[in-house]
């Protein structure tokens, strides 16, 4: 078997299996019909139980924000190539058990079923299934929306470090004036010869006063 044989056989779902999500947090992303995955696995490896099979390793509930509860399922997927079974391919899926909706809290009696479907999709992704959709040329429900990804221009570089404690120098407000981190570093350098954070600046000032050094203005 060639390294990319299975990947290339499963990478492209038909247009009929793809659906644009029209609302909610996942609006604009691509959903894939779960039955297409079953069909693709069956076409490539054989019927479920003979050419591919999965086992449920764990399922549990986890508390979420605002009283919501999520259901999770862990599975191991096995596929057969010729007479050889694969090692377990792990997949974890999740779905809402109790969700807050406009009309109030909703309890789903299908949460484990939906989490299982999600777990199978995760395991199948490792085989390359629907890779053309998950590739970054397109958006899927697993991608962060493009307008929330910080650009290089919005990523702030780390501030100057305090020469005494090694911590990052933070902005400071003494009640009379607000200082940026760089202004704090420049101010302490002028007063003490090295950049210091607010805490170390106070300690250094007190130490020098106790030792009889005249105060220096920044």
For 105-164, write each residue's pLDDT tens digit: 999 999 999 999 999 999 999 999 988 887 754 445 555 554 444 444 444 455 688 888
For residue 156, the model assigns a pLDDT of: 47
Is the pLDDT reported for residue 70 higher than 90?
yes
CATH of span 5-148 = 3.30.390.80
Is the pTM of the predicted complex or chain greater than 0.75? no
Tokens matching residue 216: 């220096």
What is the rounded CA–CA span in Å between residue 8 and residue 85?
19
Per-residue pLDDT at 148? 45
Interval 27-53 mean pLDDT:
91
Instruction: Check: CB of residue 33 under 8 Å from CB of residue 130.
Output: no
User: Would you list the domain boundaries of the chain?
Assistant: 5-148, 157-218
pLDDT at 37: 95
Q: Which pLDDT tens digit goes with each residue over 136-147?
A: 544 455 555 544
Separation of alpha carbons 121 and 128, rounded Å? 11
Tell whether the model's pLDDT for residue 202 goes beyond 90.
no
What is residue 172's DSSP assignment?
E
Q: Hey, what's the torsion of the CAs at 23, 136, 74, 82, to 10 degrees?
A: 130
Mean pLDDT throughout 5-31? Answer: 79
* Confidence band, pLDDT 50/70/90 cuts, at residue 171: confident
DSSP string covering 77-113, please? EEEEETTEEPPPEEEEEEEEEEEEETTEEEE-TTHHH
């Amino acid at each position: 078997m060639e390294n990319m044989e299975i990947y290339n056989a499963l990478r492209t779902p038909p247009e009929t299996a793809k659906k644009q999500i029209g609302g909610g947090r996942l609006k604009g992303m691509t959903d894939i019909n779960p039955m297409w995955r079953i069909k693709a696995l069956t076409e490539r490896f054989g019927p479920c139980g003979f050419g591919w099979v999965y086992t449920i390793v764990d399922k549990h509930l986890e508390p979420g924000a605002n009283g919501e509860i999520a259901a999770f399922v862990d599975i191991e997927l096995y596929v057969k190539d010729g007479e050889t079974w694969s090692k377990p391919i792990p997949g974890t899926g999740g779905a809402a058990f109790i969700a807050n909706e406009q009309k109030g809290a909703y309890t789903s009696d299908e949460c484990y079923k939906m989490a299982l479907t999600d777990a199978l999709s995760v395991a199948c992704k490792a085989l390359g299934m629907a890779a053309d959709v998950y590739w970054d040329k397109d958006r899927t429900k697993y991608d962060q929306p493009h307008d929330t990804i910080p650009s290089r221009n919005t990523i702030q570089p780390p501030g100057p470090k305090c020469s005494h404690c090694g911590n990052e120098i933070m902005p400071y407000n003494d009640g009379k004036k607000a200082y940026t981190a760089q202004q704090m570093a420049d101010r302490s350098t002028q007063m003490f010869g090295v950049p210091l954070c607010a805490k170390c600046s106070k300690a250094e000032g007190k130490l020098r006063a106790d030792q009889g050094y005249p105060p220096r203005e920044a």
